[in-house]
Structure 1
C-alpha cells in the first residue's frame, strides 16, 4: 500500500487559518498541535514547511505582530538615542519601567546596550542623556584648557576646589580629581592647577641642610619662637618651616644647632 503524503495548503491560506485561531505565541501553537485538532493540510512546523515560500516569523504567522529580536529592524543608534533622550529618564531603572509600560516603539530596542554594541554604544548615561557617565568613559578637556578654567575660578586651595566640586557647578568635562586624570599629561601641583603658585611641601626643592643652617644662623635668632615668627613673615621658599622633619636624616641635630645658639 502506497503511503501518499497529503499536500499542505499554500502559505497564504495556511496563515489565514493560523490567524483565525487567535493564538498568542509559538508555545500556544505547539500546544494546539498537540491537542490533535490541527488539520492534516496545516503543517505543525510551518517555519520549515514554508521556508522560502513566504515564511517571515511566528508573529506574522499567528498575526500577533510580534517579531523575534534577531529579525527586527531598529532605528540607527543616533536616531534611537535621540528618542531615548527625549524621554528625560534618569537611569536604567527608569528605562526598564518605560519598556514595561508598553509605550516603547517596535523599532527601539529594550536592550540597546546589546543591540548597538559595536555600533555606537557608549554607556547608559550617554543613551539617556544624563550626566552620570562612568569615569572610564568620560572625555575631559586637555590639561591646559582645564587648568585655565580652574584658575579662572580664583580658588585658594585644594579644599576650596573640593567644595566647588561638591556644589554641582563643575562642568562634566572638567575632572574632580585632576591630579589623577592629568598625572602624566601636564600635572604639576595644586598650586599650579589653581594658579596660586603654592607648591605642596613634598614637591618643594629646599636648600641642603648646611646651606639652610648657614642662612638661618646668620639671622641671629635667639629662640624657637623667633624662628616661628620669621617663618610667618619672611622665610624664603627654599627654607623649610619644619627643618627637624625635612632634614631628619640629612644632618639635623637640634633647634639650638639650627639657630646657632650656644647655650
Structure 2
C-alpha cells in the first residue's frame, strides 16, 4: 500500500488525526492514492465501506473521506475513485432522496458530471447582458425581458447557490466586469444633493439625470439610475424620502434668517454645519436644504455672503418683505430635543397679526 508506514516517533496518524498538532503530515497524492484503490478491485461503495471498516486505512495516508480531502485536487466521483464503470443510464435522484437514510446509495451516490457550465465561462456570458443588480437578474431569469437573448440552459438562475463554493464573490462580480463597476456617491450625501435639486417625482428622475449631467459632474456626484436598488440595504427608505417630496421645507427668507443667527463665516462653515461637525450649533433639520444655491436659485438666491449674512450690505438690512409669519431663534438653540417652544429645531414661527 503506498505511503503505509509509521512515523519515526511512533505516532499513529490515524483517520482521527485531524486534531494532531503535527505540521508535516500530508495525505497521499490523489493520483497515487486512486491508483492504489483501483489495484484493490473493490466492486462498489459497499466494498469500500467494508474495506475502511476493517481498518485497512488506519496507518495509511489515504483518507476515509476522499471526496472531501481531494475535493479540489482531482476528485471526480466515486466511480472514478473505485475504478468501476458508471451505468450508462443511472437514474437521477432528488436531493431529498440523496439525503434520505433509506436511500440505496445515500450520500455516497455519485452525481456524475455537473450539468452547469463552468463558473468563469458562465459569468463571462452573463456579464455581456449588462445587468447591474440582483433584482434585474431575477426578472430576467423569470422571462420579464422578452427582447433579451435567453441564457444557455446550463447557466443556473440561482448562481449564488450553485457556485457558492467555486468562485462566487457576489452579485456585482457576477453581473459586471470589474472595470465597469461604478462606485456611487454614498447615500446620505447623494440624497441631500438630490433633495436640493427639487425633483418633483419618481417619473422625473431619469430625465433629471440626463438634463443635469453637467451639474451632477460639477458637484462631483455619481448617482445611480436605480437608487432604490443601489442603496437597498444601506439606508434606502422610499422614493419620497430620496427626493424629499414628503418634507415641508422652509422658504428662502425664513431659512436665511435662521442661518444668519448661526453666525457662520464661510461656505466651508456651512458644509461643516450641515454635516453635524459644529456641535455647539443647533442641529440642522431635514426642512433646511443642504445645497441652498440649488434649491433657491430661482427663489431669491443672491450668493453665499447674503445667505450667511457676512456681506457688507448685511449691516444695513433693507426692510424685510411682507410675510404672515417670522422665524424666531429659540433660547435652547436646538439643544433640548423636546423643547416645548421649538421641538428641538432651534427656532420657531410666530404669526404676525
Would you call these one fold, judging by a TM-score over 0.5? no
* Bigger CA radius of gyration: 1
Q: TM-score normalised to the size of structure 2? A: 0.26
